[in-house]
Structure 1
Amino acid sequence: MYLVTALPQGSERSFNECLVLAERYRKAPMLLSCHKDGTALYTAIMIWNRVISHTGLFQKIISDREPKFTSALWKNLHNFFEQSYHSQKLTTLKLMFWKKE
C-alpha cells in the first residue's frame, strides 16, 4: 500500500491523492483515488467498498505509513466483518462517511 501525494491540485472537492495497492499474485496494481486528509477509517471504508468486494481480504498489508495507521486500518477492517451481525453499526459508519464528503 503506497500513497502518491504529488498530484496536481484541482477543485476543492476533487481527489488529490492516489492509493496504490498491489497483491503478491496479481500482475496489475489497483489504483484508488482519494482525498489527502483521509484517516484510517476513510481508507478502510474505501478498501472495503472497492477492493475486498472484488478480490477478498489481504493476508498482509505493507504500508509506507506509520505502524499506528496500519494498526488502525486493520482494526477498522476487522470491525466491518463484525457488522454482519450488527447492521445498525454499519448504518452509522455509512452516515459518517457520507457526511464527510
Structure 2
Amino acid sequence: MLRGPPYPEILEARKEIEKHIIELLDMDFIRNIIHNETVEVTKPILMNFHDGNSRLGGDLRELKNYTKADRCPIPRITHPLDKLENAKHIPRMDFMKSSHQNA
C-alpha cells in the first residue's frame, strides 16, 4: 500500500508543498479524497531548482510492487538526448504541472 506518513520536512518546505497543493487543486489537476474512499496515495516530494523555483512531485518507488512489465515499452530516450549533446540552449518545459513530474 502506498499510504504512509509524509517525509519529514522543514517548516518552509511544508509551506511550499501546501502552496503547490492548493495551486494544483485550483487548477483541477488533483482533488480532495473523500473520507472513506479507497485510493492509493503517494508521498509528496518538493524538488528545488537552481533558480529558486520548486516543483511538487510524488515518490512512486513503491508503485512498482503493483505494476506489471509492459511488453511494448516506450522507445528509449537516449537517441533524442544524443542529438542535444552540442546544443547551446535547452529550455525547461513544465507542460502545466502534468503527472509526469515524479521522482
TM-score by length of 2: 0.28
Which structure carries more relative contact order (alpha carbon 8 Å, separation 6+)? 2
Which structure is higher in helix share?
1
Q: Normalising by the residue count of structure 1, what TM-score does the alignment of the two structures yield?
A: 0.28
**Radius of gyration: which is bigger?**
2
